[in-house]
Amino acid sequence: MLNARFKSVLGVLCCMLGFPLWAALPVFTIEIRNHLFFPSELYIPADTKVKLKIINHDATPEEFESFELNREKVVFGNSKTQIFIGPLAAGRYPFFGEFNPNSAQGVVIVGAANAD
Amino acid sequence: MLINSIVLFLRDALPVLILFSLVLVLYRGYAYRFRIALGAVVCGLVASLGLVLSMGFWSALADGMGLELLYAGLYAIAFLLIGALLIHKRGSQPGQIKLVFALCTLLVCLGSSSIFVYFLGFWQHIENPQVILLGSFMGGAISLSVAVLWYYLLTMLDHYWAYASRCFLALFAAGLTGRCLAYLIQADWLPYSATAWNSSTWVSDSSELGHFLHAIFGYEATPHWSQITMFLFALALLLGMVWVRRTREQQDDGV
Protein backbone atom coordinates (compact mmCIF):
# COMPACT_ATOMS: atom_id res chain seq x y z
CA MET A 1 0.00 0.00 0.00
CA LEU A 2 2.76 2.35 1.06
CA ASN A 3 4.76 1.29 -1.98
CA ALA A 4 1.86 2.07 -4.32
CA ARG A 5 1.32 5.47 -2.69
CA PHE A 6 5.03 6.23 -2.91
CA LYS A 7 4.99 5.35 -6.61
CA SER A 8 1.98 7.59 -7.21
CA VAL A 9 3.62 10.54 -5.48
CA LEU A 10 6.84 9.92 -7.36
CA GLY A 11 4.95 9.75 -10.68
CA VAL A 12 3.16 13.04 -10.01
CA LEU A 13 6.43 14.70 -9.02
CA CYS A 14 8.14 13.42 -12.18
CA CYS A 15 5.29 14.78 -14.29
CA MET A 16 5.39 18.13 -12.51
CA LEU A 17 9.14 18.43 -12.87
CA GLY A 18 9.61 16.82 -16.24
CA PHE A 19 6.61 17.90 -18.27
CA PRO A 20 7.34 21.63 -18.33
CA LEU A 21 10.89 20.90 -19.54
CA TRP A 22 9.65 18.56 -22.27
CA ALA A 23 6.86 20.95 -23.25
CA ALA A 24 9.23 23.89 -23.45
CA LEU A 25 11.56 22.13 -25.88
CA PRO A 26 11.81 24.23 -29.05
CA VAL A 27 10.64 22.39 -32.15
CA PHE A 28 12.12 22.96 -35.62
CA THR A 29 11.00 21.39 -38.85
CA ILE A 30 12.86 20.27 -41.95
CA GLU A 31 10.98 19.06 -45.01
CA ILE A 32 12.24 16.85 -47.82
CA ARG A 33 10.92 17.50 -51.33
CA ASN A 34 12.42 16.17 -54.56
CA HIS A 35 15.48 14.95 -52.61
CA LEU A 36 16.15 18.44 -51.25
CA PHE A 37 16.00 19.74 -47.67
CA PHE A 38 13.81 22.77 -46.90
CA PRO A 39 15.13 24.87 -45.36
CA SER A 40 18.65 23.92 -46.28
CA GLU A 41 19.93 26.26 -43.57
CA LEU A 42 18.32 25.78 -40.18
CA TYR A 43 19.05 28.31 -37.42
CA ILE A 44 18.80 27.08 -33.84
CA PRO A 45 19.86 28.69 -30.55
CA ALA A 46 23.14 27.76 -28.90
CA ASP A 47 23.29 25.61 -25.75
CA THR A 48 19.68 24.55 -26.16
CA LYS A 49 18.29 21.10 -26.78
CA VAL A 50 15.77 21.15 -29.62
CA LYS A 51 13.41 18.69 -31.23
CA LEU A 52 13.86 18.41 -34.98
CA LYS A 53 10.86 17.17 -36.96
CA ILE A 54 11.71 15.79 -40.38
CA ILE A 55 8.87 15.45 -42.90
CA ASN A 56 9.53 13.51 -46.08
CA HIS A 57 7.13 14.46 -48.89
CA ASP A 58 8.89 12.22 -51.43
CA ALA A 59 7.70 8.72 -52.24
CA THR A 60 11.23 7.38 -51.65
CA PRO A 61 12.86 7.00 -48.25
CA GLU A 62 15.69 9.20 -47.08
CA GLU A 63 18.24 8.86 -44.32
CA PHE A 64 18.97 12.06 -42.45
CA GLU A 65 22.65 11.85 -41.58
CA SER A 66 25.15 14.17 -39.98
CA PHE A 67 28.63 13.18 -38.88
CA GLU A 68 29.01 16.49 -37.03
CA LEU A 69 25.73 16.08 -35.15
CA ASN A 70 26.24 12.33 -34.72
CA ARG A 71 22.75 11.69 -36.00
CA GLU A 72 21.38 9.06 -38.38
CA LYS A 73 17.69 8.53 -38.95
CA VAL A 74 15.69 6.86 -41.70
CA VAL A 75 12.60 8.77 -42.85
CA PHE A 76 10.30 6.65 -44.98
CA GLY A 77 8.50 8.00 -48.03
CA ASN A 78 5.52 10.26 -47.25
CA SER A 79 6.11 10.09 -43.53
CA LYS A 80 7.65 12.08 -40.72
CA THR A 81 9.94 11.46 -37.79
CA GLN A 82 11.77 13.38 -35.12
CA ILE A 83 15.15 13.52 -33.44
CA PHE A 84 16.66 15.49 -30.60
CA ILE A 85 19.76 17.58 -31.15
CA GLY A 86 21.86 19.66 -28.82
CA PRO A 87 22.59 21.47 -26.66
CA LEU A 88 25.20 22.54 -29.18
CA ALA A 89 28.00 25.07 -29.17
CA ALA A 90 27.82 27.84 -31.76
CA GLY A 91 28.92 26.72 -35.20
CA ARG A 92 27.87 25.04 -38.41
CA TYR A 93 26.79 21.40 -38.45
CA PRO A 94 26.29 20.03 -41.97
CA PHE A 95 23.80 17.25 -42.66
CA PHE A 96 22.88 15.31 -45.78
CA GLY A 97 20.56 12.65 -47.14
CA GLU A 98 22.41 9.35 -47.13
CA PHE A 99 20.44 8.07 -50.12
CA ASN A 100 20.83 11.29 -52.16
CA PRO A 101 24.00 12.90 -50.83
CA ASN A 102 24.60 15.03 -53.92
CA SER A 103 21.27 16.84 -53.79
CA ALA A 104 20.01 16.50 -50.23
CA GLN A 105 22.36 18.73 -48.28
CA GLY A 106 21.90 21.26 -45.53
CA VAL A 107 23.43 22.79 -42.47
CA VAL A 108 22.30 23.49 -38.92
CA ILE A 109 23.61 26.90 -37.90
CA VAL A 110 23.79 27.18 -34.14
CA GLY A 111 23.83 30.42 -32.21
CA ALA A 112 22.87 32.68 -35.08
CA ALA A 113 21.25 35.99 -34.20
CA ASN A 114 18.14 35.22 -36.22
CA ALA A 115 17.47 31.86 -34.61
CA ASP A 116 13.75 31.29 -34.22
CA MET B 1 22.97 6.51 -57.73
CA LEU B 2 25.92 4.26 -58.62
CA ILE B 3 28.26 6.02 -56.19
CA ASN B 4 25.53 6.14 -53.53
CA SER B 5 25.09 2.37 -53.73
CA ILE B 6 28.84 1.76 -53.47
CA VAL B 7 29.21 4.08 -50.46
CA LEU B 8 26.17 2.54 -48.77
CA PHE B 9 27.68 -0.92 -49.10
CA LEU B 10 31.06 0.28 -47.85
CA ARG B 11 29.46 1.85 -44.80
CA ASP B 12 27.00 -0.90 -43.89
CA ALA B 13 28.37 -4.17 -45.29
CA LEU B 14 32.08 -3.69 -44.56
CA PRO B 15 31.74 -3.88 -40.73
CA VAL B 16 29.77 -7.12 -41.09
CA LEU B 17 32.37 -8.64 -43.42
CA ILE B 18 35.17 -7.53 -41.07
CA LEU B 19 33.38 -9.38 -38.25
CA PHE B 20 33.13 -12.46 -40.45
CA SER B 21 36.90 -12.26 -41.09
CA LEU B 22 37.55 -12.09 -37.36
CA VAL B 23 35.28 -15.01 -36.56
CA LEU B 24 36.60 -17.15 -39.41
CA VAL B 25 40.17 -16.60 -38.22
CA LEU B 26 39.19 -17.25 -34.61
CA TYR B 27 37.55 -20.55 -35.55
CA ARG B 28 39.85 -21.56 -38.37
CA GLY B 29 40.26 -25.03 -36.88
CA TYR B 30 36.53 -25.69 -37.16
CA ALA B 31 35.65 -27.54 -40.33
CA TYR B 32 32.10 -26.20 -40.73
CA ARG B 33 32.90 -22.53 -40.14
CA PHE B 34 32.06 -21.44 -43.71
CA ARG B 35 28.80 -23.35 -43.58
CA ILE B 36 27.93 -21.61 -40.30
CA ALA B 37 28.84 -18.24 -41.83
CA LEU B 38 26.67 -18.88 -44.87
CA GLY B 39 23.76 -19.94 -42.66
CA ALA B 40 24.17 -16.76 -40.61
CA VAL B 41 24.10 -14.65 -43.78
CA VAL B 42 20.85 -16.26 -44.95
CA CYS B 43 19.17 -16.02 -41.53
CA GLY B 44 20.47 -12.47 -41.04
CA LEU B 45 19.07 -11.34 -44.39
CA VAL B 46 15.68 -12.88 -43.63
CA ALA B 47 15.66 -11.26 -40.18
CA SER B 48 16.69 -7.95 -41.72
CA LEU B 49 13.85 -8.11 -44.21
CA GLY B 50 11.47 -8.73 -41.32
CA LEU B 51 12.98 -5.79 -39.45
CA VAL B 52 12.60 -3.47 -42.44
CA LEU B 53 8.99 -4.51 -43.00
CA SER B 54 8.21 -3.85 -39.33
CA MET B 55 10.14 -0.57 -39.11
CA GLY B 56 6.92 1.44 -39.17
CA PHE B 57 5.79 -0.37 -36.04
CA TRP B 58 9.11 0.10 -34.25
CA SER B 59 9.37 3.75 -35.27
CA ALA B 60 6.02 4.56 -33.69
CA LEU B 61 7.06 3.26 -30.28
CA ALA B 62 8.56 5.36 -27.47
CA ASP B 63 7.45 8.71 -28.88
CA GLY B 64 9.03 7.99 -32.25
CA MET B 65 12.28 6.68 -30.80
CA GLY B 66 11.47 2.96 -30.86
CA LEU B 67 13.82 2.18 -33.72
CA GLU B 68 16.76 3.87 -31.99
CA LEU B 69 16.08 1.92 -28.82
CA LEU B 70 15.78 -1.32 -30.76
CA TYR B 71 19.10 -0.73 -32.55
CA ALA B 72 20.78 0.26 -29.28
CA GLY B 73 19.51 -2.93 -27.67
CA LEU B 74 20.63 -5.13 -30.56
CA TYR B 75 24.12 -3.57 -30.56
CA ALA B 76 24.30 -4.12 -26.80
CA ILE B 77 23.37 -7.78 -27.32
CA ALA B 78 26.07 -8.10 -30.02
CA PHE B 79 28.60 -6.66 -27.56
CA LEU B 80 27.56 -9.17 -24.90
CA LEU B 81 27.79 -12.07 -27.37
CA ILE B 82 31.37 -11.09 -28.26
CA GLY B 83 32.15 -10.80 -24.55
CA ALA B 84 30.80 -14.32 -24.03
CA LEU B 85 32.96 -15.58 -26.91
CA LEU B 86 36.10 -13.96 -25.53
CA ILE B 87 35.67 -15.34 -22.02
CA HIS B 88 35.40 -18.90 -23.30
CA LYS B 89 38.31 -21.06 -24.33
CA ARG B 90 38.72 -21.14 -28.08
CA GLY B 91 37.05 -24.29 -29.32
CA SER B 92 34.17 -25.66 -31.30
CA GLN B 93 31.78 -26.68 -28.55
CA PRO B 94 28.13 -26.48 -29.64
CA GLY B 95 27.50 -23.59 -27.25
CA GLN B 96 30.25 -21.49 -28.79
CA ILE B 97 29.15 -22.24 -32.32
CA LYS B 98 25.63 -21.14 -31.40
CA LEU B 99 27.06 -17.90 -30.00
CA VAL B 100 29.03 -17.31 -33.21
CA PHE B 101 25.96 -18.03 -35.32
CA ALA B 102 23.78 -15.68 -33.25
CA LEU B 103 26.40 -12.93 -33.39
CA CYS B 104 26.90 -13.16 -37.17
CA THR B 105 23.14 -13.33 -37.79
CA LEU B 106 22.57 -10.26 -35.62
CA LEU B 107 25.27 -8.20 -37.34
CA VAL B 108 24.06 -9.21 -40.83
CA CYS B 109 20.54 -8.18 -39.80
CA LEU B 110 21.71 -4.79 -38.48
CA GLY B 111 24.12 -4.13 -41.33
CA SER B 112 21.76 -4.99 -44.16
CA SER B 113 18.62 -3.24 -42.86
CA SER B 114 19.65 0.16 -44.24
CA ILE B 115 20.57 -1.46 -47.57
CA PHE B 116 17.13 -3.10 -47.74
CA VAL B 117 15.43 0.24 -47.04
CA TYR B 118 17.43 1.76 -49.88
CA PHE B 119 16.67 -1.11 -52.28
CA LEU B 120 12.98 -1.40 -51.50
CA GLY B 121 12.49 2.35 -51.47
CA PHE B 122 14.18 3.19 -54.73
CA TRP B 123 13.71 0.13 -56.90
CA GLN B 124 10.29 1.17 -58.18
CA HIS B 125 10.96 4.90 -58.26
CA ILE B 126 13.99 5.32 -60.48
CA GLU B 127 14.28 5.06 -64.24
CA ASN B 128 17.28 2.78 -64.29
CA PRO B 129 17.21 0.38 -61.31
CA GLN B 130 20.05 -1.69 -62.79
CA VAL B 131 22.39 1.07 -61.62
CA ILE B 132 21.54 0.20 -58.02
CA LEU B 133 22.39 -3.44 -58.70
CA LEU B 134 25.66 -2.52 -60.37
CA GLY B 135 26.61 -0.14 -57.54
CA SER B 136 25.71 -2.75 -54.95
CA PHE B 137 27.77 -5.36 -56.77
CA MET B 138 30.77 -3.02 -56.93
CA GLY B 139 30.37 -1.94 -53.30
CA GLY B 140 29.99 -5.56 -52.23
CA ALA B 141 33.06 -6.60 -54.23
CA ILE B 142 35.20 -3.83 -52.72
CA SER B 143 34.01 -4.67 -49.19
CA LEU B 144 34.61 -8.37 -49.75
CA SER B 145 38.12 -7.71 -51.09
CA VAL B 146 38.99 -5.63 -48.03
CA ALA B 147 37.56 -8.32 -45.74
CA VAL B 148 39.58 -11.08 -47.49
CA LEU B 149 42.79 -9.05 -47.13
CA TRP B 150 41.91 -8.43 -43.50
CA TYR B 151 41.34 -12.18 -43.04
CA TYR B 152 44.81 -13.06 -44.37
CA LEU B 153 46.45 -10.28 -42.35
CA LEU B 154 44.76 -11.56 -39.20
CA THR B 155 45.74 -15.14 -40.00
CA MET B 156 49.35 -14.02 -40.29
CA LEU B 157 49.17 -12.03 -37.05
CA ASP B 158 47.49 -14.94 -35.28
CA HIS B 159 50.34 -17.17 -36.44
CA TYR B 160 52.81 -15.00 -34.54
CA TRP B 161 50.58 -14.36 -31.53
CA ALA B 162 47.58 -16.61 -31.02
CA TYR B 163 45.53 -13.89 -29.31
CA ALA B 164 45.80 -11.24 -32.03
CA SER B 165 42.39 -11.97 -33.55
CA ARG B 166 40.82 -11.97 -30.07
CA CYS B 167 42.28 -8.52 -29.40
CA PHE B 168 40.89 -7.22 -32.71
CA LEU B 169 37.52 -8.79 -31.87
CA ALA B 170 37.64 -6.91 -28.55
CA LEU B 171 38.40 -3.71 -30.49
CA PHE B 172 35.46 -4.39 -32.81
CA ALA B 173 33.13 -5.00 -29.85
CA ALA B 174 34.27 -1.81 -28.12
CA GLY B 175 33.32 0.03 -31.31
CA LEU B 176 29.80 -1.39 -31.06
CA THR B 177 29.32 0.36 -27.71
CA GLY B 178 29.86 3.70 -29.47
CA ARG B 179 27.04 2.94 -31.89
CA CYS B 180 24.82 1.79 -29.04
CA LEU B 181 25.45 5.03 -27.13
CA ALA B 182 24.92 7.16 -30.25
CA TYR B 183 21.43 5.69 -30.66
CA LEU B 184 20.60 6.21 -26.98
CA ILE B 185 21.76 9.85 -27.16
CA GLN B 186 19.76 10.35 -30.36
CA ALA B 187 16.67 8.95 -28.62
CA ASP B 188 17.31 11.35 -25.71
CA TRP B 189 17.66 8.46 -23.30
CA LEU B 190 21.17 9.55 -22.44
CA PRO B 191 22.27 13.15 -21.94
CA TYR B 192 24.12 14.84 -24.76
CA SER B 193 27.84 15.15 -24.06
CA ALA B 194 30.10 17.54 -25.88
CA THR B 195 32.08 16.46 -28.93
CA ALA B 196 35.53 15.37 -27.79
CA TRP B 197 37.41 16.38 -30.94
CA ASN B 198 37.11 16.79 -34.67
CA SER B 199 39.61 14.72 -36.64
CA SER B 200 37.76 15.02 -39.96
CA THR B 201 40.62 17.07 -41.45
CA TRP B 202 42.92 14.03 -41.05
CA VAL B 203 40.50 11.16 -41.54
CA SER B 204 37.03 12.10 -42.70
CA ASP B 205 34.09 9.83 -41.89
CA SER B 206 33.21 9.70 -45.56
CA SER B 207 36.73 8.80 -46.78
CA GLU B 208 37.80 5.25 -47.66
CA LEU B 209 40.09 5.11 -44.61
CA GLY B 210 37.27 6.50 -42.48
CA HIS B 211 34.96 3.71 -43.63
CA PHE B 212 37.65 1.10 -42.95
CA LEU B 213 38.44 2.41 -39.46
CA HIS B 214 34.71 2.65 -38.75
CA ALA B 215 34.40 -1.02 -39.65
CA ILE B 216 37.41 -2.01 -37.50
CA PHE B 217 36.61 -0.11 -34.30
CA GLY B 218 33.66 2.21 -34.94
CA TYR B 219 35.79 5.25 -35.81
CA GLU B 220 34.01 8.60 -35.82
CA ALA B 221 35.70 11.90 -36.58
CA THR B 222 33.55 13.75 -34.06
CA PRO B 223 32.86 11.39 -31.14
CA HIS B 224 31.10 12.38 -27.94
CA TRP B 225 33.00 12.22 -24.64
CA SER B 226 30.53 9.59 -23.42
CA GLN B 227 31.35 7.42 -26.45
CA ILE B 228 35.09 7.75 -25.80
CA THR B 229 34.65 6.85 -22.14
CA MET B 230 32.45 3.86 -22.93
CA PHE B 231 34.78 2.70 -25.72
CA LEU B 232 37.83 2.76 -23.44
CA PHE B 233 35.97 1.08 -20.59
CA ALA B 234 34.62 -1.67 -22.87
CA LEU B 235 38.01 -2.19 -24.52
CA ALA B 236 39.79 -2.45 -21.16
CA LEU B 237 37.16 -4.91 -19.93
CA LEU B 238 37.36 -7.15 -23.00
CA LEU B 239 41.16 -7.06 -23.22
CA GLY B 240 41.21 -7.95 -19.53
CA MET B 241 39.03 -10.96 -20.35
CA VAL B 242 41.41 -11.97 -23.16
CA TRP B 243 44.34 -11.64 -20.76
CA VAL B 244 42.59 -13.77 -18.10
CA ARG B 245 41.77 -16.42 -20.73
CA ARG B 246 45.38 -16.41 -21.95
CA THR B 247 46.71 -16.82 -18.39
CA ARG B 248 44.34 -19.73 -17.72
CA GLU B 249 45.23 -21.48 -20.97
CA GLN B 250 48.93 -21.08 -20.22
CA GLN B 251 48.34 -22.59 -16.77
CA ASP B 252 46.38 -25.48 -18.32
CA ASP B 253 49.17 -26.11 -20.83
CA GLY B 254 51.72 -26.07 -18.01
CA VAL B 255 49.87 -28.74 -16.04
Cα–Cα dist B74/B86, whole Å: 19
Cα–Cα dist B9/A98, whole Å: 12
Which of B64, B220, B223 lies closest to A81 in CB terms? B64
Contacts of A79 in chain B (CB under 8 A): 56
Phi (first) and psi of residue A51, to 5 degrees? -100, 130
Helix B33-53 and helix B2-26, axial crossing angle in degrees, nearest 10: 140
Contacts of A99 in chain B (CB under 8 A): 4, 8, 118, 121-122
Max Cα-Cα span within chain A: 61
**Under an 8 A CB cutoff, do A76 and B55 touch?**
yes
**Under an 8 A CB cutoff, do A81 and B220 touch?**
no
The pLDDT > 70 percentage for chain B reads 97
Cα–Cα dist B67/B69, whole Å: 5
B193 at interface of A, judged by CB pairs closer than 8 A: no
* Most B CBs within 10 Å, among A57, A60, A105, to test the B interface: A60
Cα–Cα dist B230/B228, whole Å: 6
Question: Which alpha helices (DSSP H) does chain A contain, by range?
Answer: 2-23
**Under an 8 A CB cutoff, do A89 and B220 touch?**
no
ipTM of this complex prediction, to 2 decimal places? 0.78
Model confidence pLDDT, tens digit, residues B145-196: 999 999 999 999 988 888 899 999 999 999 999 999 999 998 889 888 888 8
pTM of the predicted structure, to 2 decimals = 0.86
A48 → chain B, closest CA residue? B192
Model confidence pLDDT, tens digit, residues A21-32: 455 689 999 999
pLDDT at B1 over 90: no
Q: Tell me the nearest-neighbour CA distance from B143 into chain A, angstroms.
A: 18
pLDDT given at position A9: 56
Contacts of A18 in chain B (CB under 8 A): none
pLDDT given at position A40: 94
B207 at interface of A, judged by CB pairs closer than 8 A: no
Q: Is the Cα dihedral B114, B58, B110, B202 positive or negative?
A: positive
**Under an 8 A CB cutoff, do A76 and B121 touch?**
yes
B200 at interface of A, judged by CB pairs closer than 8 A: yes
Cα–Cα dist B39/A8, whole Å: 50
Model confidence pLDDT, tens digit, residues B195-220: 888 898 999 988 989 999 999 999 99
Q: What is the CB-side half-sphere exposure of residue A36 using CA atoms within 13 A?
A: 6
**Under an 8 A CB cutoff, do B122 and A74 touch?**
no
Interacting residues of A83 by C-beta distance below 8 A, sequence separation 6+: A51, A52, A54, A64, A71, A73, B186
Model confidence pLDDT, tens digit, residues B12-39: 999 999 999 999 998 888 888 899 999 9
Cα–Cα dist B158/B167, whole Å: 10
A83 → chain B, closest CA residue? B186
B1 → chain A, closest CA residue? A100
Beta strand A79-85 with A91-97: parallel, antiparallel or unpaired?
unpaired
B53 at interface of A, judged by CB pairs closer than 8 A: no
Which carries the bigger pLDDT value, residue A48 or residue B124?
A48
